[in-house]
C-alpha cells in the first residue's frame, strides 16, 4: 500500500497558495496606497471560518507562539538597521514615549473602554494596556514602504519607540490580568503591592537590556572572528543572527525579562559594531522579516471570526478613535513638548502611532489566563488594529507631505531648492558677514558663526530640515556631520 502524504501536501498547498496570493495582492494594493500588512490580515480573515475559505482555526497557543517568534525576528531586523547616530536625537523622546507615553495612552483609552464597553475599571484598563503600545512590525514595514524620507528626529523617535515600548505594554497587561483575576476571585482583591510592581518592571527592563547588550557585543565579536571567509556569504550569517536572536529572546523571557527589548538591543549593537559584516546580511534579513510579517498577520487573520466581532464593532471603533484622536496625541504632546519638538512633528508622531500584531498578541494573554470575557478584549484589539492599518497606515506619506515633513532626495536639486531655498552657505560662515551680505538684522549677542547660532536658536539636537527665522529669511539645516551643522540653506522672504 503506497504511503499517502496528503497530511503534508494539502496543508502545505493551502498555506503556500495563501501566502502567494496575499503577497501578490499586497504588491498591487501598496501601489494604490493601502497597507501591505492590512492585505495579509484581510487575506487571513477571508480564508477563515466566516470567509470563502471556510478554514476553522482557533489555536491561540500556536498563534501566540508564532506571533512572538515573528515579532522577535522583526525587531532583530529593525535593530540591525538602526544607526547609533539616530540615538543622539531619538533616545530621550523614545524612552519617554515607551514608558510614560504607554501608561498615559493605556489610561485614557481604558477610561473610554469603561464607558463604551461597560467594563469594570480593572477590565477597562486591561483593554487600554493591550492596545496602548505602538507596533514594531507595522512601524518598520510601513515607514519603509511609504517611500517618504523623514528627518532623523522623527524617524528615529518612531522606530526606537516601537522597539522599546513592548516591555511596558507586556508588563501592564500581565499586571492588570492579575488584578482582574483577583477582583473576580472570592476572597481575593489585595492586588499587587508597589514593591512588586517596581520589581516586575525592573526585571522586564533590566534583564532585557543586560542580556540584549551582552549578547550584542558577543555576537559582534563572533562575526568579526569568523570574518567573511568562504562561509556562503550573507545568507549563512543572517541565519546565525536569527538563531542567536531567538536564543536571546527565549532566554530573556524565561528569566522574566523582556525578550523583545533584548533582541532589539542585540540587533542595534551587532549592526553598529560589525557594520560591514552585517551589511551583506540585510537582504536575507529583509526576507526573514517579511516572511515573519506575512505569516504572523495571516495567522492572526485566521483567528478572527467576523460574526463574533459584530457585537463589539461599534464600541471597538469608539475605543480606536479615542486612542488615535485623543489618547495618543495627548500622550505624545505631554512627552515631547518639553523636549521642544515642533508642533508639526508632534502631530505626525501622534498620527503614526501604528497598531499591528502586538495588541492582538497581547489580547491572547487574558484568553490563555482564563480572564472572564477575554474574547471581548481580542475582538476590540482586532478592530483597533484594522482601523489603525486602514486609516493611519495608508496615510503616512500623505500626512508627512501635508505637514511639511517629507524631505527631498539628496540628488533632487529642484526639490531641495523648494525645501531649503536657493542659497547654500557653510555652517562656519561668520554671522556678521551673513547678515551684512543679505541685509539681515544682526541678533543681539549673536555667536560668531551660523551653525552655532542655529544650534542655540533650536535648543535641541539639530537634524536635516530644522529651520529658524532670521528677520525675513528662513535658515534651514541642509547637512550635518557627526551632529555638527555643516551646510545651511537660506530662503529669503
Q: Which of 253-267, 302-316, 321-335, 439-453 has the highest mean pLDDT?
A: 321-335
pLDDT, tens digit (0-9, with 9 covering 90-100), for 324-373: 999 999 999 999 999 999 999 999 999 999 998 889 889 999 998 888 88
Residue, of 434 and 417, whose pLDDT is higher: 434
Q: Alpha helix (H) ranges present in 310-395?
A: 313-322, 328-336, 343-351, 357-369, 374-387
Compute the distance between CA of residue 335 and CA of residue 313 in angstroms, rounded to an integer.
Answer: 31
Compute the distance between CA of residue 144 and CA of residue 74 in angstroms, rounded to an integer.
Answer: 13
Nine-digit cell at 210?
Answer: 543586560
- Kindly state the average pLDDT of the residues 305-325: 92
Residue, of 145 and 117, whose pLDDT is higher: 117
Q: How many CA atoms lie within 13 A of 40 on its CB side?
A: 26
Compute the distance between CA of residue 211 and CA of residue 249 in angstroms, rounded to an integer.
Answer: 9
The label of the residue with cell 529669511 reads 473
Is the pLDDT at 21 greater than 80? The verdict is no
- Kindly state the average pLDDT of the residues 429-438: 91
Per-residue pLDDT at 32: 56
Radius of gyration, CA atoms only, the chain: 24
**Residue 476: pLDDT band with limits 50, 70, 90:** very high
Per-residue pLDDT at 5: 57
Question: In angstroms, what CA-CA distances link 275 with 156, 220, 224, 308?
Answer: 18, 9, 10, 48
- Kindly state the average pLDDT of the residues 433-437: 90
Measure CA 140 to chain center: 6
Is the pLDDT at 1 greater than 60? The verdict is no
Compute the distance between CA of residue 293 and CA of residue 108 in angstroms, rounded to an integer.
Answer: 29
For the whole model, what pTM was predicted? 0.87
**Residue 466: pLDDT band with limits 50, 70, 90:** very high
Per-residue pLDDT at 190: 46
Mean pLDDT of the chain: 87
pLDDT, tens digit (0-9, with 9 covering 90-100), for 203-244: 888 899 999 999 999 999 999 988 765 455 578 899 999 999
Per-residue pLDDT at 290: 85
Query: Exposed/middle/buried for 100, CB within 10 Å: 0-12, 13-18, 19+?
Result: middle
The label of the residue with cell 537634524 reads 463
**Residue 274: pLDDT band with limits 50, 70, 90:** very high
Per-residue pLDDT at 7: 60
Per-residue pLDDT at 88: 81
Least confident of 18-22, 301-305, 446-450: 18-22
pLDDT, tens digit (0-9, with 9 covering 90-100), for 393-407: 889 989 999 998 989
Per-residue pLDDT at 241: 96
pLDDT, tens digit (0-9, with 9 covering 90-100), for 120-139: 999 999 999 999 989 887 88
Query: Exposed/middle/buried for 343, CB within 10 Å: 0-12, 13-18, 19+?
Result: exposed
Is the pLDDT at 36 greater than 60? The verdict is yes
Q: What kind and span of H or E run contains 161?
A: helix 152-164
Amino acid at each position: 500500500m503506497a504511503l499517502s502524504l496528503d497530511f503534508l501536501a494539502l496543508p502545505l498547498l493551502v498555506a503556500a497558495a495563501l501566502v502567494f496570493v496575499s503577497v501578490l495582492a499586497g504588491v498591487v494594493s501598496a501601489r494604490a496606497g493601502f497597507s501591505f500588512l492590512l492585505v495579509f490580515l484581510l487575506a487571513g480573515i477571508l480564508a477563515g471560518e466566516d470567509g470563502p475559505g471556510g478554514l476553522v482555526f482557533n489555536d491561540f497557543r500556536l498563534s501566540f507562539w508564532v506571533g512572538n517568534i515573528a515579532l522577535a525576528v522583526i525587531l532583530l531586523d529593525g535593530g540591525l538597521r538602526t544607526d547609533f547616530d539616530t540615538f543622539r536625537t531619538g533616545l530621550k523622546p523614545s524612552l519617554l514615549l515607551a514608558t510614560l507615553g504607554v501608561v498615559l495612552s493605556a489610561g485614557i483609552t481604558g477610561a473610554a473602554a469603561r464607558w463604551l464597553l461597560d467594563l469594570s475599571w480593572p477590565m477597562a484598563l486591561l483593554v487600554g494596556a493591550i492596545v496602548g503600545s505602538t507596533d514594531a512590525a507595522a512601524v518598520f514595514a510601513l515607514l519603509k514602504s511609504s517611500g517618504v524620507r523623514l528627518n532623523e528626529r522623527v524617524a528615529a523617535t518612531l522606530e526606537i519607540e516601537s522597539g522599546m515600548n513592548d516591555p511596558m505594554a507586556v508588563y501592564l497587561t500581565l499586571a492588570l490580568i492579575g488584578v482582574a483575576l483577583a477582583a473576580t476571585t472570592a476572597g481575593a482583591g489585595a492586588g499587587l503591592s508597589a514593591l512588586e510592581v517596581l520589581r516586575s518592571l525592573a526585571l522586564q527592563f533590566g534583564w532585557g537590556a543586560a542580556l540584549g547588550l551582552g549578547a550584542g557585543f558577543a555576537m559582534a565579536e563572533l562575526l568579526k572572528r569568523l570574518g567573511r571567509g568562504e562561509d556562503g556569504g550573507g545568507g549563512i550569517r543572517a541565519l546565525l543572527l536569527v538563531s542567536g536572536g531567538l536564543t536571546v529572546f527565549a532566554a530573556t523571557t524565561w528569566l522574566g525579562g523582556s525578550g523583545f527589548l533584548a533582541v532589539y538591543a542585540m540587533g542595534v549593537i551587532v549592526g553598529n559594531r560589525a557594520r560591514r559584516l552585517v551589511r551583506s546580511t540585510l537582504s536575507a534579513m529583509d526576507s526573514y522579516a517579511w516572511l515573519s510579517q506575512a505569516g504572523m498577520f495571516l495567522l492572526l487573520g485566521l483567528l478572527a471570526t467576523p460574526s463574533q466581532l459584530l457585537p463589539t464593532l461599534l464600541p471597538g471603533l469608539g475605543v480606536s478613535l479615542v486612542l488615535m484622536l485623543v489618547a495618543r496625541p495627548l500622550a505624545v504632546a505631554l512627552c515631547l513638548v518639553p523636549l521642544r519638538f515642533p508642533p508639526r512633528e508632534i502631530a505626525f508622531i501622534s498620527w503614526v502611532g501604528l497598531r499591528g500584531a502586538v495588541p492582538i498578541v497581547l489580547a491572547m494573554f487574558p484568553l490563555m489566563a482564563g480572564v472572564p470575557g477575554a474574547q471581548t478584549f481580542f475582538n476590540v484589539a482586532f478592530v483597533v488594529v484594522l482601523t489603525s492599518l486602514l486609516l493611519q497606515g495608508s496615510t503616512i506619506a500623505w500626512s508627512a507631505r501635508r505637514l511639511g515633513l517629507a524631505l527631498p532626495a539628496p540628488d533632487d536639486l529642484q526639490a531641495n531648492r523648494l525645501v531649503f531655498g536657493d542659497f547654500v552657505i557653510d555652517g562656519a560662515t561668520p554671522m556678521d558677514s551673513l547678515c551684512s551680505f543679505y541685509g539681515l538684522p544682526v541678533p543681539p549677542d549673536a555667536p560668531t558663526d551660523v551653525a552655532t547660532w542655529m544650534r542655540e536658536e533650536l535648543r535641541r539636537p539639530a537634524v536635516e530640515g530644522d529651520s529658524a527665522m532670521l528677520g525675513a529669511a528662513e535658515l534651514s539645516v541642509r547637512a550635518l556631520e557627526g551632529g555638527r551643522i555643516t551646510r545651511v540653506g537660506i530662503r529669503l522672504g
